[in-house]
Amino acid sequence: MKKVQRFMRMCSFKQRLRLASFMRALVPDPSMARWATETAHAMIKACSLRMSDLASNMDGPYPAAYKRIRRFLKVFHPHALLWKRLPEDAPFVLMHITEIPRPQARRTE
């Protein structure tokens, strides 16, 4: 059992290292790259984009992780960064934002 847990921790560590080098290449600011790495790792772990799921899969207490995500998204704008990396003469774009109507939701503001 201990070997399995150790193996899972090592996989997570290796995955985090690869993700960190990718984020450093993508995000120019080193502190933002660290925050982006932590958030992206939580996305991969949670298999979700909901902030509550991300916060529960991040290190530290849940309220602190949730606040870290909120602060990060207030400062960092991923869409602008990704649009800058996209070539101007691309024949099509796969990351266009589409609004999806949610009639069953109570509040959609």
Provide the pLDDT for residue 11: 52
Convert the pLDDT of each residue in 11-41 to its tens digit: 566 677 788 888 888 888 888 888 888 888 8
> Is 95 a member of any domain?
no
How many domains is the chain partitioned into structurally?
Answer: 1
pLDDT, greater one: 63 or 79: 63
> Is 106 a member of any domain?
no
> Is 67 a member of any domain?
yes
Could you tell me if 57 and 42 are in contact, meaning their C-beta atoms sit under 8 angstroms apart?
yes
Could you tell me if 16 and 37 are in contact, meaning their C-beta atoms sit under 8 angstroms apart?
yes
Distance CA 22, CA 30 (A): 12
Distance CA 89, CA 66 (A): 38
Convert the pLDDT of each residue in 53-73 to its tens digit: 999 988 889 999 999 999 998
> Is 89 a member of any domain?
no
pLDDT at 105 over 50: yes
> Is 8 a member of any domain?
yes
Give the global pTM: 0.63
Please give the mean pLDDT across all residues of the chain.
Answer: 78
> Is 101 a member of any domain?
no
